[in-house]
Structure 1
Amino acid sequence: MQIFKKFSQLSIFYSEYVSFPYPHATTVKKAHKCTINHCLLHSHLVSSHASHKFVSSGGKPAGGEGDGAGAEMVGPQRPQFVLFGSSIVQLSYANGGWGAILSDVYARKADIVLRGYYGWNSRRAVQVLHQVFPKDAATQPSLVIVYFGGNDSMGPHSSGLGPHVPLPEYIEHMRSIAVHLQSLSDTTRVIFLSCPPVNEAKVREGVSGIFSELVRTNELCRQYSEACIELCQEVGVKVVDLWTAFQKRDDWLTACFTDGVHLSAEGSEIVVEEILKVLKGAEWEPSLHWKSMLTEFGDDSPYDLVAFDGKTTLNPSDWTFHRAIQWD
């Protein structure tokens, strides 16, 4: 059975096969390129067992009274994922950023909470750690993703001012953050992001005449990245090695940044891919990978879209074909 939708002024690019994670559809073969202007947007091949329990004669859902009966409600207890860090975090909703991508991927599954602070280092982070993550909070986050180190790793200024934090002090601050977050609850999980590389030439070009004695080098980024990874291994925190992940791309210098430091959409996609790898591979109970998590109010309903046969409905709760990338 084919279900067609009409949209206008849209261009959708598809390739190969995508498996949709809702239980009512088989794999969909996508055309390599489909440009849509007042034409068919998409077709789903729905298997014979995909028909819902609802029919045009007014039948009610099996297993309960009325629509929504038996629905699993997350409501106010929907899991929270907190993004805590410096500008890489604060800007994660801009320009196709990784925070925005995670919000899309985890729609109706978890709330992505932004706690990003432009220009901050680990020293400032530990000063407010107990305010941002109080131990007596009514609800503790299910996941905290932490990024500090880019500003810490900048060279020291002769005045003693500025964001630089010596490496040994940075390690202890990150240890304090890890220990505190781990103590919030038995089910609060933590992922650290290590320092990515930077485009040194682009950084120098962008800050010339603006900042005094700004030193940002890949050698310093590497040192702080390695220190972060070693600390995580020591304290049992999952870590994403952004230093290595970015440099797997031959064009990382030009593709991954907007200004040599902050992330482009392509750089953010790398961050999301690496985070999801960690979440998929982690042996956490419950799992925090999006495919394993409950979709809020995901039950079938007679108010869902009516199928091609004019009698049954199709549950769109977990449709993901709107995404440019089908995240695993």
Structure 2
Amino acid sequence: MVGPRRPQIVLFGSSIVQYSFSDGGWGATLADIYSRTADIILRGYAGWNSRFALKVLDQVFPKDAVLQPSLVIVYFGGNDSMPPHPSGQGPHVPLSEFTENMRKIGEHLLSLSDKTRVIFLTPPPMNERQIQVVFGDAMRGRSNELSRPYAEALMNLCKEINVKGIDLWNAIQQQDDWLNTCFTDGIHFTAKASEIVVKEILKVVREADWKPSLHWKSLPVEFPFDFGEASSLSLTDLELTRNKKLESPPFTSRL
């Protein structure tokens, strides 16, 4: 591995995670914010549901790994909540099974080490009309009515297994004109929606009573900024202020 060793923050999930490193994406923004303090590791798999995640859980997060992640941010549920396909195939996972799958994922991650922390992201709302325009019949039946119970069940599960939860379902709907500003295709996030996700994550991490803290301002900066040499620009001040706008999250209901 490339040294020195840093804390690892792993993003694990479906396309909301895989595409998060796109321009303005929430994963890319986190990587920028933590660029001198932690490594953001992407493990996103478009089209996956919680059932698929369980199949690879031990491979992605082996219990015997020398270095365990400090934080895992998990997103599944959007594909699980799609309506069942008449053929019996497709990504649909019944709500009860989804909840149990997420319980197993959370418990496995918490068992990796006594300092591994977990955040679950709920399914967000969607723009159903935009989905129909972009995808046509390929996403027929995908709806907010079907997705909302999965978000609610996940937030309840977070309380049961003592992991942090971020209620994207409600957080995104607090944004003005969210239907028209938060989605590239009715499902996946614009830079505006990604900014909401980042603000919510930073608030949870900042307020959590984790020891050590995983907030980017609390982690040690890797190597000196200037090795004591005089500079007309204070890089320390620049690092502390350039992401200031992301430290004031919108109102949301979450753990």
Aligned to 2:253: none
Spell out, residue by residue over 1:236-293, the C-alpha distance to the aligned partner (whole angstroms, 9 max, x if none).
Answer: 0000000010011231101111000000000000000000110011000000111111
Distance apart, 1:319 and its partner CA: 2.1
Percent identical residues: 60
For 2:197, which of 258, 271, 276 is the aligned residue?
271
CA RMSD of aligned residues (A): 1.8
Q: Which has the higher Rg, Structure 1 or Structure 2? A: 1
1:290 to 204, 216, 233: 216
Question: Partner of 1:229 in structure 2?
Answer: 155
Q: Secondary structure at the match of 1:146?
A: strand
Deviation at 1:306, TM superposition (A): 2.8
Secondary structure of the residue that 1:92 maps to in structure 2?
Answer: helix
1:95 positional shift: 2.6
Q: Give 1:306's aligned residue.
A: 231
Task: After TM superposition, give the deviation of residue 76 of structure 1 in Å.
Answer: 3.4
**Count of residues paired in the alignment:** 246
| Greater per-residue strand proportion | 1
| 1:17-166 aligned within 5 A | 75-166=3-94
Letter in 2 for 1:237: V
Cα deviation digits, residues 21-78 of structure 1 (max 9, x gap): xxxxxxxxxxxxxxxxxxxxxxxxxxxxxxxxxxxxxxxxxxxxxxxxxxxxx94320
Q: Per-residue CA shift, 1:287-313, capped at 9, x if unaligned? A: 0111111100126524x4533xxxxxx
Q: Secondary structure at the match of 1:134?
A: coil
2:174 equivalent to 1:255: no
- Distance across 2 between alignment mates of 1:324 and 1:187: 26
The alignment's TM-score, normalised by the length of structure 1, stands at 0.72
* 1:205 CA drift (Å): 1.2
Confirm or deny: 8 A CA contact 1:146 1:193 kept in the other structure: yes
- In structure 1, the gaps of 5 or more residues are 1-73, 308-313
Tell me the TM-score normalized by structure 2.
Answer: 0.92
Aligned AA for 1:195?
P
Q: Which has the higher helix share?
A: 2
Letter in 2 for 1:170: F
Query: 2:237, 2:222 → 1: CA distance?
Result: 10
Aligned to 1:53: none
